[in-house]
Amino acid sequence: MDITSAAVATIISATTSATITLLIARGNARKSLDDKLDMLLGLAVQYPYLESDSFAKSWTSAYDPDDEKYLRYEHYCTMLFNYLSIVAGHFKYSKKRIEQYIAIKPWVRCHAAYWRDPTDEYATIDEYDKPFVDLIESYLTGR
C-alpha cells in the first residue's frame, strides 16, 4: 500500500488536532476545579466558622433547622464533599496527585463529624462512589 504525502499530512493534522483538543479539555477541567475551590474558599472567608475546628466538631445531624449557622454548614459540607469527589475523580483517586493539588487530609478531618453524621442517615455512603468513600475513610482512619 502506497501512502501519499497528502495522507501523511492528514494523519499528522488529525493527531495534532486531537492532542490540542485534549490539552484544552484538561486545561478547562483544571480551571473548573480551581473555580470551585475559589468559591469554597470564598465562603469560608465570608463565614469563618465553616472552617473552624471547634464549630465543625459541634456538628450534629439533629441540629435546629432554624439555626442558620448549622443550615449553612450542612450546605457547605455538601458542596465540599461534592467538590472533593470531583477532584478525586479528576485525579483518578491518586492520593499523591490529589494531595499535590489540595490539602485534602486536614480538610476531611476537620469535617469528619459531618461525614460520620449526615442529616440523611446514609447520605455520605450512598451518594458517593466506593472509591471516593474509601478515600475519605482512609483519611479518617489513618490508613
Model pLDDT for residues 121-140, shown as the tens digit of each residue? 878 878 899 999 999 999 99
How high is the mean pLDDT of the chain?
Answer: 86
**Is pLDDT of 5 > 70?**
no
Half-sphere exposure of 123 (CA within 13 A, CB side): 15
Measured CA to CA, the distance from residue 133 to residue 139 in angstroms comes to 10
**Is pLDDT of 36 > 70?**
yes
Q: Are 104 and 87 in contact (CB under 8 A)?
A: yes
- pLDDT confidence bin for 142, thresholds 50/70/90: confident
- pLDDT confidence bin for 24, thresholds 50/70/90: low
State residue 138 phi and psi, 5-degree precision: -65, -35
DSSP string over 59-123: --TT--TT-HHHHHHHHHHHHHHHHHHHHHHHTTT-HHHHHHHS-HHHHHHHTHHHHHS-SSTTH
C-alpha distances in Å from residue 49, one per residue of 26, 56, 73, 120: 34, 8, 9, 22
Q: Is the pTM of this model over 0.85?
A: no
| Higher pLDDT among residues 6 and 90, named by residue | 90
Measured CA to CA, the distance from residue 143 to residue 141 in angstroms comes to 6
Domain extents in the chain: 31-141
Q: What is the mean pLDDT of residues 98-124?
A: 93
